Structure 1
Amino acid sequence: WPGAQGQSLSTFALDVDNASYTNVRRFLNEGQLPPRDAVRVEEMLNYFHYQLPAPPAASPDPVRISAELSDCPWAPGHQLARIGIQARKIDTARLPPANLVFLVDVSGSMMGDDRLPLVQAGLRLLVQQLRPQDHVALVTYAGAAGLVLPPTAGSQQGTILTAIDQLAAGGSTAGGAGLRLAYAVAGQFFKKEGNNRVILATDGDFNVGESSDEALEQLIVQQRETGVFLTVLGCGRGNLRDSRMEMLADKGNGNYAYLDNLDEARRTLVAQFGGTLFTVAKDVKLQVEFNPARVANYRLIGYENRLLANEDFNNDRKDAGELGAGHTVTALYELVPAGSEKPLVDPLKYQLPQARAGSVAAEVLTVKLRYKAPQGTTSQLLAQPLAGAAVPIAQASADQQFAAAVAEFGLLLRQSEERGTATYATAAQLAQAGRGPDADGYRAELVRLVQLAEGLTPAAKTVGVR
């Protein structure tokens, strides 16, 4: 719990991955609690869309910041600040032409209905979204890597679908060789003003060739500098290499999604076609400055592997996260208000906050954001303050209530020491209160998953002690 008086800055790279939520969902639907390290709260938050203000049409910036402050439901006396980032939505017809290389793992570990057949079904759905100006190639890897389909126009859907249908699993896994070939194909047909991307579909079980995380990371970092980004689609269970696939996507200027069923494939590759495959801002970083007159201590919920040094915020050479068209990103901070009866540290003798006149005194924090254009090298800066008093959680917006419920759920699944008074019952009640219109039913599904988790959890573990 950093103190706002001496450590007023919190800096991290944005992350739009949501694979942890679908992986957690799979475990719960199969009657198991997920392993604690499989629960990444930020990815659970970012699975859902929130009603955030969009960038004005006339604005040159493709992103917009918003923020909201309420009481914290699992920590009486604490507050919950929600930061939301909305990327500009772009009509599919206006998206730049795509140069896509499907890189499909067809090794023996990809046998089973939840692996290669699911990937094939998802890619078929994606192919149906292609336009004549888009091009797709298909590379596979098992014991060796091979080019199954050279770059083919999106208008030739029959040819592309036939190549996908003919894939079959068997053999060991030469993931590094597959990545090298896929990047080479993408580079040969690079579209200067287009979207150049490798889409890797795998369970992540690289066991032959360039298999160390360091070697794979070096390869991907080299390629992202050329303008070819990476999307990772995970599948399967048992030997799923979740952390490895998250690393690959993070280093490849891309995103990581886990496909646990065909509906999720449809959501990722059809409903969110633009957000999954078309980057509108890269190297997106957030830096939050807390006002010690309003905040005694704070903690960022999640994003543990996305933290940056404060000086990295202004360093344009530092890699960060990417935002796709229409994406929303949510970050939550739990705050101990200044003047709290139970501060986490003693007041500092020599750094007492100075009273400040005017509107600044009412500000709780300021959110700063840096981003680059997809092919840019120089970042742009945005800033948005959050002022005013925290509202009771019951009076907060539906999105604030729902995001708080998701975070509470994640803290319980992780058995976090910071879960306070959280229970599955209160998380379910809060999620139900924050459901809103829920046209796609995803928020109702969360309520069901919370109830499933409660039934699988021994009573002694459902409530934490601060």
Structure 2
Amino acid sequence: MENNHDIDKKFNEASQSAEEPTTFLGFDKVWAKVEEKLDKKEDKKKIIPLWFSYGIAASLIIGLGAFYFINKKEVVDISKPHLVQNTVSPKVNNIQKIDSVVKSNIEKEIALPEIKNNSETLAYEDTRVSSVNNSNYVLENKPNKAEVYQSGKISQEIDTLTGKSIEEVVIVGYRSTTKQSAVTSTSAIVSLQNIETKRSKRKQGNLNSSPSIAMAYGNQTDMNGYINPTRPNANVMNIAQGQLSGVNITTGNGQPGSSPQVLIRGIGSLNGNTKPLYVINGIAKNSDELYKINPNTIESMEVLKDASATVLYGNRGVNGVIIIKTKKLSRKERKALEKIKKVQDSIYLSKQIQQNNSEEYDAFVENPFELTKNQSVSTFSIDVDNAAYSNVRRMINNGEKVNKNAVRIEEMINYFKYNYAQPQNNQPFSIDTEYNTSPWNPKHKLLKIGLQGKNIPMDKLPSSNFVFLIDVSGSMNEPNKLPLLKSSFKVLLDQLRPQDKVGIVVYAGSAGMILPPTSAKEKVKILSALENLQAGGSTAGGAGIELAYKLAQENFIKGGNNRVIIATDGDFNVGTSSTGDLGTLIEEKRKSGVFLTCLGFGMGNFKDNRMETLADKGNGNYAYIDNMQEANKFLGKEFAGSMYAIAKDVKIQIEFNPKFVKSYRLIGYENRKLRNEDFTNDKIDAGELGSGHTVTALYEVIPSNINSEFLPKDTDLKYTKNTSDDNFGDELAMVKFRYKKPDGDTSSEIVQLVKNSNESISSASSDFKFASSVAWFGLVLRDSKLINLRDLTKIEELAKQGKNKDDEGYRSEFIRLVESYKAIQK
């Protein structure tokens, strides 16, 4: 058979001809008869069923020769469309009779080769033709008449040729089969509906009227109703569920978000394939194209099966055809639907992610309220990590359900910078406290404690010895993992100076050094080593850590900044891989004086618990990089704070005065709580503070004169003496801080007093409002049992009040995040 592509090309060239195409022999005579019939029954729908042999069917439909048969010796006049079912029936005799008449008539006007019964006509939409006498037959002398009409084009061409305005042209077909033989007869029906003569408009040159789309609808009894176009669905076929008769729609694997399996009832298959053909606005599409359609634009959906499907679409229609027609939308409607589709796509993506989700987060219980008279002292380690915020942001932006154990409120608060004063008197950090009303419970109070690390100019920073520890295992072979990692490390390299050195260690099934410590001025060499990295194999994270620390220690800079920077999805599965074993390993390594930065990448199999353990136990910090914006923030704008520690083992201990505080609780820092006796124990590890870093903590306080539903049950202790001395005046609490220098082993202490006040939140600072709004949002995400008010709109309003001057836009981004979460919840 001639190459279909060449045939398509010929048809396209012919269709672009500026000349009026030559009609087939006797066309004027045929059309005169057609008009005579139309004039007699102008207001009635006229359905003229015509059956003719298989090979001629394509040629006649393509060349519009079917009109010729309207007024010949034998005409079957049926008032309604009629499709012969795919069964043996007495109607077959009529078909054979009409076939004979049709063949006789056509032979008088057009000399065609003998047509064989076993000729096969393929789908017209694919511009294929029938096989006649073992050769390909095309009306090459009349290419435009033989053109295959697709979609709305067929209506327009017929309209132009006939001078009639045809609202709808329906081409369907019939194929008869028996148990004894294969295809024995092929027939076609040309149905003209709602024909209206508009000769006057034609004479006036009105050739641009919009023709309706010509689609294979079948007869009127196959029309299956109107589908509500505003019904929100994840995909088009969900609309048809329970509404499109003759169709079974099931979820194949039972997983959320999986594509449904569509089967037209009554359809069997010899080849095991039961997928129907989809025709969208008159053009056949594969199932992938189906899910690109916005369900809200669907105007109608119909089903063709049996004869009508197989004749019109050949073998592709053997499992039936689902025909979809979309409606035209205004610009305003399109924009509105684009917004809807964006949300639906986000939800669909989240379902796909969740069905294969193996992310791991350590579960924890939020800090309870403590009775001050029983326990007036609270101690914890600071935490400069901010991974939880960017990870939660990723989940919300993807439309995923937020894992409450991924929400560490202290990391959400500390993602943002606050306007605290710079330290004085050579101290590494300053202290900022504020006491005001709790926004989620106006009867309660909030105590904010803030630290501001000293800003050290870049040229004053010590020389750095960085070892990049990069996971190149198979699990990193995704766009948001290794490729993003490479781009992120380029941002980091741009911050380094010639005196800084970089070494690169990689690990997969085993660990190896691919770049010895190299001066940052040899950027091309370092970048080349990064670019050559490829993902594959298992994940021997423990071996990688051992080798990276070994390399860092061998090139240790005394008085300098020595740091291992590990970049991974945390999916360790070879050697030391459990959370406990990794914690023990990294605790041993921190004794070397080498700090640690953990960069998390990817989703789906992300192991947050292991990354957090490494950072907490290894004198380190932890960030989650979900995009280049985050890479630029953490490794670019906040480079000094992220990579240069100015104080280590920073601890905070607060003692509340029972005179003013009945009960209190620390918000967040659940994994950073210390025993009270650990505060002065220099062997106990705590968090690090970087250059220019800010750290913020919030305590929720129940004042002594308030009876709250969240108060813990009182215990009558016989031997505990709890008295308040008026000599303490208006002291609400005493806050103590202990820290060590980056290379020191002995801690120093700073003390600050906090005064009681009765200020309302309207008088609170912008930082207080914004930090409390972030904490409030975190409490909602965690589904905290210790709050009653969960109004996202109020959280958004409070964040806007605390936005203040937002040059970098991070606070504005948080407000948009709350808005997005609110939209998802609706």
State the alpha-carbon separation in 2 of the partners of residues 246 and 426 from structure 1. Answer: 32
Corresponding residue SS for 2:582: helix
**Aligned residues with identical type, % of pairs:** 50
In the TM superposition, what is the alpha-carbon distance from 1:346 to its structure 2 partner?
4.7
State the alpha-carbon separation in 1 of the partners of residues 695 and 380 from structure 2. Answer: 13
In the TM superposition, what is the alpha-carbon distance from 1:422 to its structure 2 partner?
2.9
1:431 aligns with 2:796: no
1:129 aligns with 2:495: yes
State the alpha-carbon separation in 2 of the partners of residues 244 and 354 from structure 1. Answer: 45
State the alpha-carbon separation in 2 of the partners of residues 287 and 160 from structure 1. Answer: 44
Corresponding residue SS for 1:126: helix
State the alpha-carbon separation in 1 of the partners of residues 707 and 515 from structure 2. Answer: 66
Q: After superposition, where does 1:33-432 map in structure 2 within 5 Å? A: 33-56=401-424, 59-342=425-708, 344=711, 345-346=713-714, 351-357=721-727, 360-432=728-800
**What is the match of residue 21 of structure 1?**
389
In the TM superposition, what is the alpha-carbon distance from 1:352 to its structure 2 partner?
4.9
Contact 2:377/2:655 (<8 A) preserved: yes
CA deviation vs aligned residue, 1:90-111 (integer Å, no higher than 9, x gap): 1111110000000000001001
**131-140 vs 348-357, which moves further:** 348-357
Contact 1:139/1:181 (<8 A) preserved: yes
In the TM superposition, what is the alpha-carbon distance from 1:361 to its structure 2 partner?
2.0
Contact 2:579/2:609 (<8 A) preserved: no
State the alpha-carbon separation in 2 of the partners of residues 302 and 354 from structure 1. Answer: 29
State the alpha-carbon separation in 2 of the partners of residues 97 and 3 from structure 1. Answer: 49
Corresponding residue SS for 2:696: strand
**What is the match of residue 462 of structure 1?**
none
Task: Specify which of 347, 359, 374 is matched with residue 6 of structure 1.
Answer: 374
CA deviation vs aligned residue, 1:126-176 (integer Å, no higher than 9, x gap): 111111111000010011111110000111111111111111111110101
Contact 1:33/1:456 (<8 A) preserved: no
Contact 1:402/1:431 (<8 A) preserved: yes
State the alpha-carbon separation in 2 of the partners of residues 232 and 98 from structure 1. Answer: 17
Corresponding residue SS for 1:255: strand
**343-352 vs 188-197, which moves further:** 343-352
In the TM superposition, what is the alpha-carbon distance from 1:454 to its structure 2 partner?
1.6
Corresponding residue SS for 1:10: strand
State the alpha-carbon separation in 2 of the partners of residues 427 and 390 from structure 1. Answer: 22
CA deviation vs aligned residue, 1:12-57 (integer Å, no higher than 9, x gap): 111100000000000011112311101010000000000011111x
Unpaired segments of 5 or more residues in structure 2?
Answer: 1-368
**What is the match of residue 824 of structure 2?**
456
CA deviation vs aligned residue, 1:294-352 (integer Å, no higher than 9, x gap): 10000000000111000000100001111111110010000000121447245968745
Amino acid of the structure 2 residue aligned with 1:114: N
Corresponding residue SS for 1:225: helix
**What is the match of residue 463 of structure 1?**
none
Report the RMSD for the aligned CA atoms in angstroms.
1.3
Amino acid of the structure 1 residue aligned with 2:462: P
Contact 1:17/1:256 (<8 A) preserved: yes
State the alpha-carbon separation in 2 of the partners of residues 142 and 128 from structure 1. Answer: 27
State the alpha-carbon separation in 2 of the partners of residues 151 and 327 from structure 1. Answer: 28
Unpaired segments of 5 or more residues in structure 1?
Answer: 459-466
Contact 2:766/2:801 (<8 A) preserved: yes
Amino acid of the structure 2 residue aligned with 1:308: L
Amino acid of the structure 2 residue aligned with 1:242: D
Corresponding residue SS for 1:415: coil
CA deviation vs aligned residue, 1:406-447 (integer Å, no higher than 9, x gap): 011000000000122131111100001100101011001111
- State the TM-score, normalized to the length of structure 2: 0.54
State the alpha-carbon separation in 1 of the partners of residues 605 and 759 from structure 2. Answer: 45
Contact 2:423/2:452 (<8 A) preserved: yes
Contact 1:282/1:320 (<8 A) preserved: yes
Contact 1:293/1:361 (<8 A) preserved: no
Between 1 and 2, higher relative CO (CA 8 Å, sep ≥ 6) is seen in 1
State the alpha-carbon separation in 2 of the partners of residues 60 and 113 from structure 1. Answer: 46
State the alpha-carbon separation in 2 of the partners of residues 341 and 139 from structure 1. Answer: 58
State the alpha-carbon separation in 1 of the partners of residues 449 and 724 from structure 2. Answer: 26
Contact 2:582/2:610 (<8 A) preserved: no
State the alpha-carbon separation in 2 of the partners of residues 446 and 342 from structure 1. Answer: 31
State the alpha-carbon separation in 1 of the partners of residues 759 and 536 from structure 2. Answer: 57
In the TM superposition, what is the alpha-carbon distance from 1:61 to its structure 2 partner?
1.8
Distance 1:347 1:177, change over 3 A: closer
**334-343 vs 423-432, which moves further:** 334-343
State the alpha-carbon separation in 2 of the partners of residues 128 and 365 from structure 1. Answer: 45
In the TM superposition, what is the alpha-carbon distance from 1:216 to its structure 2 partner?
1.6
Amino acid of the structure 2 residue aligned with 1:147: M
Corresponding residue SS for 1:284: strand
In the TM superposition, what is the alpha-carbon distance from 1:456 to its structure 2 partner?
2.1
Corresponding residue SS for 2:379: strand
Q: For the pair shown, which has the larger CA radius of gyration, 1 or 2?
A: 2
CA deviation vs aligned residue, 1:248-275 (integer Å, no higher than 9, x gap): 0111101000001001001010101111
Contact 1:283/1:320 (<8 A) preserved: yes
In the TM superposition, what is the alpha-carbon distance from 1:390 to its structure 2 partner?
3.6
Number of aligned residue pairs: 454
In the TM superposition, what is the alpha-carbon distance from 1:381 to its structure 2 partner?
0.1
Contact 2:371/2:714 (<8 A) preserved: no
Amino acid of the structure 1 residue aligned with 2:748: Q
Distance 1:153 1:409, change over 3 A: same
In the TM superposition, what is the alpha-carbon distance from 1:214 to its structure 2 partner?
2.3
